[in-house]
């Protein structure tokens, strides 16, 4: 089975993909290939990860940076810090995206995942 083609078919049908597997099986390789494919079609891709190191490996940025969370660790802190709502810039960017990739999603805490879900609903 050609995993890349299966993944691309699902993505083009607006389905989410959860790519998992053990160390060294090629998760990052296939992720980079998917990103490259979308970018070659001149489509915008948000390349995100929970840590700076993981973000660097895919040429992206952290979830906190992209979603404008600052140093907030949960939704209450977001509101307290005046970051409860996304900026107009982020909203505009979100509408232009063809794909959001979150590498190392299994390393994302439940509270950070809730914050990401909130931002996606807001945009």
Q: In what order do the strands lie in the sheet with 61-62?
A: 61-62, 44-49, 97-103
Instruction: Say what the pLDDT of residue 57 is.
Output: 86
Instruction: Say what the pLDDT of residue 87 is.
Output: 95
Instruction: Say what the pLDDT of residue 1 is.
Output: 56
What's this model's pTM, rounded to 2 decimal places? 0.86
Instruction: Say what the pLDDT of residue 44 is.
Output: 95
Range of the domain at 12: 3-122
Splitting the chain (123 residues) into consecutive groups of 10 residues, what average pLDDT does each group show? 86 91 85 92 94 90 95 92 94 95 90 94 93
- Provide the number of structural domains found in the chain: 1
In this structure, the strands spanning 61-62 and 44-49 are: parallel
d(CA 16, CA 65): 22
**1-32: string of b/e by CB count within 10 Å (b at 16+)?**
eeeeeebbeebeeeeeeebeeeeeeeeeebbb
């Amino acid at each position: 089975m050609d995993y890349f083609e299966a993944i691309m078919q699902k993505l083009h049908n607006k389905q989410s993909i959860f790519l998992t597997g053990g160390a060294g099986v090629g998760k990052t390789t296939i992720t980079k290939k998917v990103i490259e494919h979308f970018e070659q079609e001149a489509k915008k891709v948000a390349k995100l990860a929970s840590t700076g190191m993981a973000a660097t490996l895919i040429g992206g940025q952290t979830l906190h940076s992209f979603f404008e969370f600052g140093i907030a660790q949960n939704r209450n802190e977001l509101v307290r810090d005046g970051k409860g709502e996304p900026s107009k810039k982020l909203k505009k960017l979100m509408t232009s995206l063809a794909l959001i990739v979150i590498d190392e999603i299994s390393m994302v805490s439940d509270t950070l995942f809730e914050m990401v879900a909130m931002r996606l609903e807001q945009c």
